[in-house]
Structures are given as structure tokens and as C-alpha cells.
Amino acid sequence: MKNLYIVTSIVLFNFYAHAQLYSPCDAKATKETKALYYSMQRLIGAGVIFGHHDDTGYGVNWRFADDSSDVKGVTGAYPAMYGWDLAKIEHDSTKDINRMPFEIQQKRVKEAYQRGGINTFCWHMDNPANGKSAWDTTMRTVADIIPGGASHEVYVGYLDRAAKYLADLKGKDGETIPILFRPFHELTGTWFWWCKNTCTPEEFKTLWQFTIDYLRNKKKLHNLLIVYSVADFDSEAGFLERYPGDNYADVIGFDNYCRNDISFFQKKLDLRLALLDVIAAKHHKLSSLAETGYHNIPTADWWTKVLLPVMAKYKTSYILVWRNAGMEQYFAPYPGQISADDFKIFSKSSHAIFQNRLTPLGIYGKKLE
């Protein structure tokens, strides 16, 4: 492990010496947020940051226990990135969409930050136009909630509640914790109220730009790195059709899950990561595989024989696998699961960065633990 740290440090030094680092799209980003963005750029070539949604919140056969993680249970290390969901904060609920109390979620976010990890939030926001779920596509909701729309003020109220919660996520010295904020994910799909079947590209761009401007300028949130994350795409034009502009994104990515046809998954992942490398370079952004995984991981060597060979070829900043809801649905192995041994090998690959590799690097520009 010591040699691994040395290799990583050399790669970081070489990157810093020979590459220009790009600033966050928010000119007023906090110093910790800037440090995180610079650190993530420096890590390109040193490995891919590995994340897991709701990792320390609950898992297979446990819920809300302190110092618990299925990933850590298998590998001995936490993931380096922790995914969370803002859904239901828009209603001042005490629990998120996955029934995790926001009080516990807030505690886990702070713990992740203190150990030098990275936090990212998506938002399965309920439909502001009718109060139904994020999966309600019966209306042209986006047109209703952008400025001038009938439900615009309802949407602003949703943003106000989310902004208050995000502003209250603070470190031990009172600094606001940097967050990778991933709104309106899978926007090229057809299953959410913000997807391509419910709005025009211009309506979507207006919604995105208003949202980010409101959080930055009105609510003074300068701890957000913005993630633009699509679903299916097979061309640069398709990826960028609804892109809101370089002033409104720091990271670009997509969600891509493995189904029963593993070769098809590898082919599509290979194509899309290659395209993303090109797009990210042109727009000076980090790239990500913002959601991925294989439901209940029925293939014993999926991590090293399916995911790793493709992942290792590209300049992807991070990948994040979806949550472990229980025995009925999990995307990271738990101790004894069929792919657990292979996942442990994956975690020790030079191409994968878990928390044990990330913590010593001090990605926020100061010692946290």
C-alpha cells in the first residue's frame, strides 16, 4: 500500500506539472470546493474514484448503524465517493425517498467529508406541477415551472428547502462541505418529468440555468460542483443537445447499467466513455460514470473481467454504483456475496481509488482527520 501511495503522488505531481487545471464554473466557489475540483483533475491518470450510493446509510441486513458499509465489509475500505438523494426535502420531510432520516444522512455526509471522502447528491424531486412522483410524465412540467410558468413559485419553494439543507452541511470549522450536485439526471431518458419526452431542449436549458443561477446568486450556495448526467446517447450531438453550457457544469457524465447481456453493456460502455473523453476535453470538464452497476451481481468476476477492463481505458474521474437496498436489490457486494472476492481484487487495482487511497491526498487542501 505504501508503494501505491508513492505511485499516486508521482502521478499527481506529473499531472500538476504538465497540465492546466480548470476552475469551477462558479467564480465564487469556496476554497474547499476549488481544492476538491483541482484535486479531482490531478487524479486523472492515477485511478478512477469509486463511489456507492447511500453506502454508510444502510445495506444488506443492516440499517442506520454507525461505522457500517457493505463496501468496507468486503474490501476493508470505504468507497471514496458517497451518493445521496435530496428527494422529499422539497416537502420538509424528515426522511428521504429511501426512508433514511435526513438527520442521519446529514451525519453521514459530515463523516464522509471528515475522512476525506467526496459527497454527491442527486434529486428524485416530486413533480412540482401536481405533487406526484419524479416518475410522473403526464404533464409538460418543465414549461410549468420555469419563470413565467404556472407552478414556478412552487418550484422556487422546493429550491429554497433544498438550499437550506445544503447550506447546513458544514465541517468542523464551520466551512460548507463541497457537494457534487447532480440535478435532473438521466435527462435523455423518458421516465422522469424532466426528460426529453416532456420538454424541448430550450425549455430544459432554461430550467437548468435558472436552477443553478438561483442556488448560486439568490441562495449564495458556492459549495456546489455541478454534474450534467444523461442516460442513453450514441453521439456527441446527442449528448450535447440539452447541455446548458460550460458556465453551468463542472462534470459531465451518464448513467449506464448492466442488464443480462454483459457483452452489450461492455460495448455500450466502451463507446460512451470514449465519446465522453472527447467531449470532456473539448469543454474542459471532468467526466464520470455517474450511475452504474449490475443488479444483484450474479457474475462472480464481473468487477475485474467486465467493468475494470473498460474503466481502465479512459480518463473517467469517478464511477458510482447504485444502492444496496437489501437482499432484493444491491449493486455492491456484501460479505459472502458471489462477487465479493472479485470485488476485493478490484478494490486493490491501481485503476480504482477507494477511501484508503484518497484520504492521504488531502483533496480539500487541509488535513481533516
- In 3D space, the residue among 63, 93, 191 whose CA is nearest the CA of residue 135 turns out to be 191
pLDDT of residue 367: 64
Cα–Cα distance between 239 and 117 in angstroms, integer? 29
Residues of the chain with pLDDT under 50: 1-18
Report the amino acid identity of residue 259: R
For domain 2-361, say whether CATH 3.20.20.80 is its number.
yes
- How crowded is residue 309: how many other Cβ atoms within 10 Å of its Cβ? 12
Query: What residue ranges do the domains of the chain occupy?
Result: 2-361
Q: Give the gyration radius of the chain's Cα atoms.
A: 19
pLDDT of residue 19: 53
Instruction: Copy the grid coordinates of residue 148.
Output: 413565467
Q: Is the dihedral of CA 105, 188, 312, 302 positive or negative?
A: positive
pLDDT digits 0-9 by tens, 194-232 = 999 999 999 999 999 999 999 999 999 999 999 999 999
Cα–Cα distance between 132 and 27 in angstroms, integer? 36
Cα–Cα distance between 196 and 259 in angstroms, integer? 23
Q: What is the 3-state secondary structure (H, E, C) of the chain?
A: CHHHHHHHHHHHHHHHHHCCCCCCCCCCCCHHHHHHHHHHHHCCCCCEEEEEECCCCEECCEECCCCCCHHHHHHCCCECEEEEECCCHHHCCCECCCCCEHHHHHHHHHHHHHCCCEEEEECCCCCCCCCCCCCCCCCCHHHHHCCCCCCHHHHHHHHHHHHHHHHCCECCCCCECCEEEECCCCCCCCCCCCCCCCCCHHHHHHHHHHHHHHHHHHCCCCCEEEEEEECCCCCHHHHHCCCCCHHHCCEEEEEEEECCCHHHHHHHHHHHHHHHHHHHHHHCCEEEEEEEEECCCCCCCHHHHHHHHHHCCCCCCEEEECCCCECCECCCCCCCCCCHHHHHHHHCCCCEEEHHHHHHHCCCCCCCC
pLDDT of residue 7: 44
Contact call for residues 12 and 362 (beta carbons, < 8 A): no
pLDDT of residue 9: 47
Cα–Cα distance between 4 and 8 in angstroms, integer? 6
